[in-house]
Structure formats: structure tokens, C-alpha cells
Amino acid sequence: MANNKKKNQQQYQEFAKQRETKRPLIKNCIRAFLIGGLICTIGQVISTFYIHFFHFTEENVGNPTVATLIFLTMLLTGFGIYDKIAQFAGAGSAVPVTGFGNAVIAAAIEHRTEGFVLGVGGNMFKLAGSVILFGVFSAFIIALVKTILIQWGGL
């Protein structure tokens, strides 16, 4: 009986695999490349603006650039435009920092009806939380190993 069930499941999985629409890899990659590249170029324009008018250096210009991009993301997400870009671009809109911003802001707007504390506060990092977790934890391990190597290994 149990064996039979397993067999059915396997058959179903194979069936589902056959029926699954093939993802157009090349087309998706070209779209991701174009939109991702475009977002980074916009970022570069903003960076140049900050370097010339607000005396940031090339070292620390990343910070205001990221903040500005996330501000723009807020507008695009709020008016429902970012979703449409994401449908077209796939990873091209998810991988830049605007995708991180969109994940936070969309969750915040969506859960607003549940109240600001439980809804917005509780769900804001539902999607973006894992990025922060693994970013911070891996950075901790890497910096720890490097510091130990430098201090005791004389690297």
C-alpha cells in the first residue's frame, strides 16, 4: 500500500516535470542583463551626481546611492510599477539593491491593514530577513577567521 503510494507520487512527479513549461533561459538572461545593467547605470549616474555636488568620495558614495535607489523603489512599488518591471526582468530587478528595497517596502504596504505594529513591523523583513541573516552571519565568520589569521598568524 505504502509502496504503491510512493510509486504514484514518483509517476506524478515525472508527469509534472514533462508538463512544466520550459523556461526560456536565454531570453530571461538577456532581459535580466538589460534591466539589471540599466539599474546599475542609473546608480552610477546618481553616484556621479553625489561625488560632484555633495563631495562624497568614490569610497563612500555607495551609501547615498543605495539610499536614493531605495527611495525611488518606494515610489515605484507604491504605484505598482515595480511589480511590472519584475515580471519582465526577473533577476534583473531582484538582484540589485532595489529588489531588496522592494521586498521590504512591498511587505510593509501589503500588511498595513493588519496594523502598524503587528502588520507592518512584524512582516517588513519576512522576505528580506534571510538576506540580512546570511549576510551578517557569513560576514561574521569571514571577518572572524581573517582577524584571527591576521592577529595570530601574522598574515
Partner 1 sequence: MIYFWAFVVGGAICVIGQIMFDVFKLTPAHTLSSLVVVGALLDGFGLYEPLIDFAGAGATVPITSFGNSLVHGAMQEAEKHGLIGVVTGMFEVTSSGISAAIIFGMIGAILFKPKG
Q: Which residues inside 7-36 make contact with partner 1, applying CB under 8 A?
A: 23, 25, 28-29, 31-36
Which residue, 7 or 138, has its beta carbon nearer to partner 1?
A: 138
Between 5 and 62, name the residue whose CB sits nearer to partner 1.
Answer: 62
Q: Going by C-beta distance under 8 Å and a sequence separation of 6 or more, which residues neighbour residue 18?
A: none
Show contacts with partner 1 in window 42-81 (CB under 8 A). 43-48, 58, 61-67, 69-71, 73-74, 77-80
d(CA 120, CA 107): 7
- Minimum CB distance to partner 1, residue 154 (Å): 15
Site for partner 1 in 90-119 (CB under 8 A): 90-92, 94-101, 104-105, 107-110, 112-113, 116
**Number of C-alpha atoms within 13 angstroms, CB side, residue 90?**
13
Q: Which three cell numbers stand for residue 27?
A: 531570453
Choice between 1 and 25, CB closer to partner 1: 25
Best CA proximity match to 105, nearest among 127, 131, 137, 88:
127
User: Which residues in 97-127 are b (16+ Cβ under 10 Å) and which e?
Assistant: bbbbbbbbbbbbeebeeeeeeebbeebbbee
- The least distance separating partner 1 from the CB of residue 10, rounded to whole angstroms, comes to 18
**Residue 42: CB atoms within 10 Å:** 16
Q: Please say which residue, 11 or 121, places its beta carbon nearer to partner 1.
A: 121
Nearer to partner 1, 12 or 116 (CB): 116
Binding residue for partner 1, selected from 53, 84, 85, 146, defined by CB under 8 A: 146
